[in-house]
Structure 1
Amino acid sequence: MTLSPVNLEQLDENATETAVIGTSKTYRIDFERGELGGIINGNEAILQFIKKAIMTARSRFLIYNDDYGCEIEDIIGQNVSSELLEEEVPRLIKEAIEYDDRIESASNFMIERNGERLQVTFTVTLTNGNTLQGVSVSV
């Protein structure tokens, strides 16, 4: 006797699994004031995830698993060459966001250094085929 309501004997042995990506519905975060307000979904929620994942230091907050966050903070403000920034910043951002099931890839990075801040603009390709162009994050 199984505890599952599914009769395993009736399942088709040739059936294939289809990945189902859950909803993007989440609370809207006002990063300037540190407040929550309203509900967002779709591309707006994905853009918020991208910004929050990049702004959150990886492995520093127990509430998040080791996959969440970014290590970009470790090189910001350091005396590193432009060549190193051009190599490391895209890699760090990709690691921070591409583990998410909704995101296929990130590409076309443009990095501007403003003192100790970086303005990074890039393109994100989603698993549903859509593309988010001009995604911009200041770190």
Structure 2
Amino acid sequence: MNLFPAVPIPPQMKKPASYGRELAFDFDRNTFLYVDGRPKIVEGIAALQIWIEKTLRTARYRYPIYRFSYGCELADVIGLDLPTLVLEAEIPRLIREALVYDDRIADVGDFIVERDGDRLRAEFTVTTTLGDRFRQEVKGLV
């Protein structure tokens, strides 16, 4: 049973040519990765996965450096004492809304959400506009 209606994802206006590049980041140690003293750069799906995790770890509307479409509103609901049924519906919706604005992502689904107090672990499937599918896990969200 879902408390919230499914909202269709708007059709993508144009497909990206690639997934881009990102600086490699170790989210467990909260540090950038280096190779021979230089920042490690990743491309392809690995770059998209880093962007996804950074997006979900950034509170939307909190930092003026980011556009309002960047970030996630998870921090607004994690600390609340909401019924489990509400959280099970709301958390996937917030994650999905945070990610589908990017023109590389076509859909996000198949969620597994585990909550431990004020911490959250989410696992989900990402379908890209280039036709790739992969599982993404994000731990330690607040």
Counterparts of 2:15 and 2:111 in 1: how far apart (Å)? 29
Counterparts of 1:79 and 1:90 in 2: how far apart (Å)? 17
Instruction: Tell me the residue number matched to 1:35.
Output: 32
Give the unaligned 5+ runs of structure 2: 1-12, 34-38
Counterparts of 1:20 and 1:137 in 2: how far apart (Å)? 25
Q: 1:91 deviation in Å?
A: 0.8
Instruction: Tell me the residue number matched to 2:14.
Output: 19
- Larger RCO: 1 or 2 (CA < 8 Å, sep 6+): 2
CA distance 1:112–1:20, shift in 2 (3 Å): closer
Q: 1:22 deviation in Å?
A: 4.5
Counterparts of 1:95 and 1:70 in 2: how far apart (Å)? 8
Q: 1:26 deviation in Å?
A: 1.9
Counterparts of 1:125 and 1:115 in 2: how far apart (Å)? 30
State the SS of the aligned residue for 1:87: helix
Which range moved further: 110-119 or 59-68?
Answer: 110-119
Highest CA radius of gyration, 1 or 2?
Answer: 1
Aligned-partner residue type, residue 23 of structure 2: Y
Residue identity over aligned pairs, in percent, reads: 40
Q: Does 1:118 align with 2:114?
A: no
**1:61-80 deviation line (CA, Å, top 9, x unaligned):** 11110000000001112111
Instruction: Tell me the residue number matched to 1:75.
Output: 77
Instruction: Tell me the residue number matched to 2:96.
Output: 94
Instruction: Tell me the residue number matched to 2:9.
Output: none
Aligned-partner residue type, residue 34 of structure 1: T
Matched residue count: 121
TM-score (structure 2 length as normaliser): 0.79
TM-score (structure 1 length as normaliser): 0.80
Counterparts of 2:128 and 2:32 in 1: how far apart (Å)? 27
